[in-house]
Structure 1
């Protein structure tokens, strides 16, 4: 049984990437405006320490540098996720990542300021006479920025998975025999918006590795399962599910066409029209083992 969504999740998926990019742009733009106003009042209006344009260059250059580094924060949150069961082990990795984040931020920021000062006034920008002290000051700000981004990205991921639905293997009961074989499950449990649903393994069209999750694709929806691709492959029926790529498993019942490519790889077309990659290594195995699958010339 497929859960009926409380909102049009497929429509959200179409707009998800523009929404995510827009969120960071709007957030950092708003931060730039407010911080620029504060810096202008402090350094220009009150003590006349800076020229009128300088606070805006400072804040804009910092925000642009941070905006370019958002993917740099997204990757480690997927590689070392912060959850109740992992945060102690993964915290040290994020502390280590905050150092290159700060260095990259400061380096990009200085380059942008040098260009802006030269273009606007013909001046030369000076970062500071005491570089170690100035870098330490910037790091104290950047480590807070880095971890605020980690918290934001982690919270957003949890929210999306709650809306989307998250799959899990049916647990073996404490007493008595399991309802079905745990090593080769016939169904997966999906939790969504406080409700639970069962999805038949035979209805899974393909699986895709995504960080610490494997997405189960079922009738146009993806349900993330906290597992590794190798681990879940061992639990699925090998006569039905076959590995076609290091990140993909397909259900042969839903495979419509194999299209060879000049590179030696192949493109798989599923019954719903979706296309998936098939690497050269697995293409040969696929054709040898399942020769009755239609192959495009």
Structure 2
């Protein structure tokens, strides 16, 4: 009788020189370089185009004015990119959340447009004053509505671009799911504590042990499992994953963070009553005063 063929080994999470590994050292430079270059090129191109239109129509504007109009708009838009990144993390647009978050996106577009208009008008008035002139924006209500019609499309384009990039990053980095139990496993009422998570990355599957997860961070509709310098997004909530993790090993230290006690290096009390948890990988995780007692009990156990 032939012995059963063993299943193929699951790839290790330590595979080196992957596409994600090669991209990681350049990631921040690429991300910020993209925004900076995009707005600089846009400001230059629009300045030249508007100046050509002014000369073609023989309008009475100085040659420096189109540059001021365009560069103030583009520089303020660039300065607002971090706010849009934060906003889209707080209200992500996914297939299962877009209906709920769409009203927030509409409100966000109004706020973004208001900041954009206020910033660029203020800069224009400042530049015109240095040239001995005066910049007149016109009737605020009418002009803001006109600017908003343009800004809402700009804002929507930013949101779509950011979400597509994050989707690509999740595919490169890997998305985690709780490893399903076998079909013949009896159901239990209490939430099962997963021993392993299944990570799908670029068509491959990896198993990571729950005990190896160093810390977890809430991020929109995901909880990022941090492991050996990588984040694996798991579509769940902090409350749900906290109920499944071993409380003898994992402790909630903040409404957005859970830490593995085996990976805690030091705890630094702060004057505010909060604390800073130093992880062994060098990461500083915030600990709010609400959870300090639970952290002390966990580390003392």
**TM-score band, normalised by the shorter chain?**
0.7 to 0.9
> Is the 8 Å Cα contact of residues 244 and 286 (structure 1) preserved in structure 2?
yes
Is 2:126 the counterpart of 1:115? yes
Displacement of 1:275 in angstroms is 3.6
1: CA distance, partners of 2:267 / 2:185: 41
Could you list the per-position Cα deviations for residues 232-272 of structure 1 after superposition, in whole angstroms to 9, with x for gaps in the alignment? 10111111111122222122222343344454443433334
Compared with structure 1, are the counterparts of its residues 162 and 6 closer, same or farther at alpha carbon in structure 2 (3 Å cutoff)?
farther
Structure 1: which 5+ runs fail to align?
A: 293-297
Q: TM-score, normalised by structure 2?
A: 0.86
1:225 partnered with 2:234: yes
Instruction: Note the C-alpha offset of 1:176.
Output: 4.1
Q: Does 1:198 align with 2:218?
A: no
- Give the SS at the match of 1:167: strand
Partner of residue 177 from structure 1, selected from 179, 185, 188: 185
Q: 1:131 to 1:172 in 2, by over 3 A?
A: same
Deviation at 1:100, TM superposition (A): 1.8
Residue 255 in structure 1 maps to residue 264 in structure 2: yes
Distance 1:140 1:222, change over 3 A: same
How large is the Cα RMSD of the aligned pairs? 2.5
Aligned to 1:136: 145
After TM superposition, give the deviation of residue 137 of structure 1 in Å. 1.8
Counterpart residue number, 2:54: 43
Runs (4+) of structure 1 exceeding 6 A deviation are: 178-182
Offset at residue 116 of structure 1 (A): 1.0
Q: SS at 1:207's partner residue? A: strand
Aligned length: 289
- Would you say 1:271 and 2:280 are equivalent positions? yes
Task: Name 2:7's counterpart in structure 1.
Answer: none
TM-score with structure 1 setting the length:
0.87
Q: Output one character per residue of 1:159-182: Cα deviation in whole Å (capped at 9) or x when no partner.
A: 111111111223467x54379996
Worse overlay, 60-69 or 274-283: 274-283
Instruction: Assess if the C-alpha contact under 8 Å between 1:171 and 1:182 holds in 2.
Output: no
Q: d(CA) in 1 for partners of 2:128 and 2:146?
A: 22
Alignment-derived partner of residue 126 in structure 1: 136
Structure 1 position 215 matched with structure 2 position 219: no
SS of the aligned residue for 2:258 comes to strand
Where structure 2 has 5 or more consecutive residues not aligned to the other structure, the ranges are 1-11
